[in-house]
Each structure stands twice: as C-alpha cells, then as structure tokens.
Amino acid sequence: MLETVTLAGGCFWCTEAIFKRLKGVTAVIPGYSGGKKPNPSYEEVCSGTTGHAEVIQIEFDPTIISYDKILDVFWHLHNPTTPNQQGNDIGTQYRSAIFYHSENQKQIADKSKEELEKSGKYKDKIVTTIEPFSNFYKAENYHQNYYDKNKSAPYCQVIIDPKIQKLMKEFKKLYSPK
C-alpha cells in the first residue's frame, strides 16, 4: 500500500526534481500547503499573504523506500536552519516544513529532527516545523515536471543540477535516474 508525505524545503522545482529520482517514489506533485486560502495561485502564494508554502506531495512505496529515508534525503538536500529562506528564495512560501499525514509520521519526523539536532551537523538551530497535514493544492501545470522540461534553463543548471549530483553521491543506493 502506498503512503503519502508532504514536504516544504524551498522551491518546489528543486524538491520535485530530487524526490522523483528516488527508488520507490511513485509520484511527486508540486503544490501549496499549510495556509488558509483555498486554491491559491502561484502569484498569491508568492505574495506571502496566503500562509501557504511551496511543497511537494510524495507518493511512495514503503516496501522499497521508508519514510525515514525520505526524511533523511529531505534533511540533507536543503538547509533546515534558515527561516523562510532557501538560498536566494526568500519568503514564508520557502519555509522548511514537514506536514505529517498520520500520528506515526509525526513521531518519526519528531525523532528524525531531534536526532539531526543532536548530531551537530548544523551549528544553527533547525527551524523546520512539523505540522499536521490539512490541505494540498496542486500547482499550475507549468510547474509540474519543471526540471525535466527545462534542464537547460540557467536556474536548473545552477541550482537543481548540483542538488541532483549531491543526491547521486550521498544517496547512491536510493538514486534512480528518471
């Protein structure tokens, strides 16, 4: 039986490209979550007034990749210590958050965050929030599969390609070229 997880770790173009390349991930859909406004547009989310973050909703097969491993990739491929920012992307829509879909996911996420804090990997405090999932709104079609459709775009070459290279290096066993 497939499971779902919703993650916010900066620009959804980046996170979609990464998580699509994991063995056991069956779908990755960019969208918006965590806010109050129903059916927000990209422009509305970018305004910072909706409360939504850019997220990806991941469907995965837990017999192939565990929720723990998905979180491990999440922690390593973005900076969970910068509030409302990933690189040059600034605003509440770029915050770091885990939206859990079950009490079990919440417990695993809490434990994962606590272990990462204790590890000393980051000198700054981890600001990632762990929140109950309440809504998801699929992003506009031009955001879907953005990296795969625009690999030669400067943003993809400068920002996303290095993240994919890091994934291939640090998570070799989980990597599956798509």
Active site residues: 11
Long-range contact pairs involving 83-90 (C-beta distance under 8 Å, separation at least 24): 83/127, 86/9, 86/10, 86/11, 86/14, 87/10, 87/159, 89/10, 89/11
What letter does residue 159 receive in the DSSP assignment?
I
Residues making up the chain, counted from first to last? 178
